[in-house]
Amino acid sequence: MLDQHHAAEGVALGLAAEAHRIAEREVGVGVDERPAAVGVGDEVHAPAQVNRVWQIASTEKTTAMGQPTSYMLFPTETPTLMAASESSIAKRAEFATKNLFVTKYDPAERYAAGDFVNQNPGGDGITAFIAGDEPLVGEDVVLWHTFGLTHFPRNEDWPVMPTDYAKFTLKPYNFFERNPTLNVPAPASAHCAAGSSGSDAAAGPAEAPGASGCADGCCG
């Protein structure tokens, strides 16, 4: 039996699902999630065409609605290693040939390229970590995500390169029962609160400019 809040959510989900089916059937714009299990050593890439993400779900904990608590890894669609497969770089950095590897947690496995990279003939690091093909379900896992960028120099990079970006997002997915920020308490301070009018804010004669309201210009 569901309480009222969860029942309301269930109805909303049902309506959304029916609207999705109509959109897919009548307009051809429906989009489905297509989950698939990831095993050790699988060919895992992040093509932008399908907006691939990876969900790391618990086998022990669930929400009140029965969903496994989980996080999702949202990658940045960047190319994997562009070096030739027979090159020394590719042999030493096999971790960079795919966007993702998943292994069972082992405190001795600390570096994706192995403990000693210089003059390494290859076969260390990720290559060795996935050789055992250990089961991942119900285990503590490690995600090895490659999200590097390929830098083509430009005039503006000289004499000092300003910046470039490489990133990913790790986001809770059905980890909480609802938006966790709803429990954040209201600010106790009245600074920049509604009703403040800059230098016209009511202030006692002993207060210096900026002591109340937004006289210091912080609110624009």
At residue 17, does pLDDT exceed 50? no
- From the CB of residue 167, how many other CB atoms can be counted at a distance below 10 Å? 10
* 196 vs 49, higher pLDDT: 49
Show the DSSP H helices in the chain as ranges.
4-22, 88-92, 126-129
For 96, counting Cβ atoms within 10 Å of its Cβ (0-12 exposed, 13-18 middle, 19+ buried), the class is buried
Express each pLDDT in 112-162 by its tens digit.
999 988 888 888 899 889 887 778 888 888 999 888 778 888 999 999 998
- Residue-averaged pLDDT of the chain: 74
At residue 42, does pLDDT exceed 90? no
pLDDT at position 220 is: 47
User: Once rounded to an integer, what is the mean pLDDT over residues 74-101?
Assistant: 86
pLDDT at position 26 is: 57
Q: What share of the chain has pLDDT > 90, as a percent?
A: 17
pLDDT at position 52 is: 79
CB 93 within 8 A of CB 81: yes
pLDDT at position 89 is: 87
Region for 120 from its dihedrals, namely left if φ exceeds 0, alpha if ψ lies in -120 to 50, beta otherwise? beta
For 129, counting Cβ atoms within 10 Å of its Cβ (0-12 exposed, 13-18 middle, 19+ buried), the class is buried
Express each pLDDT in 190-209 by its tens digit.
666 666 555 444 444 444 44
How many CA atoms lie within 13 Å of 19's alpha carbon, on the beta-carbon side? 6
User: Once rounded to an integer, what is the mean pLDDT over residues 27-56?
Assistant: 66
User: Once rounded to an integer, what is the mean pLDDT over residues 19-26?
Assistant: 51
- Output the CA torsion sign for 97, 100, 106, 109: positive
Express each pLDDT in 160-173 by its tens digit.
998 888 888 999 99
The domains of the chain are located at 34-180
At residue 103, does pLDDT exceed 50? yes
In this prediction the pTM is 0.63
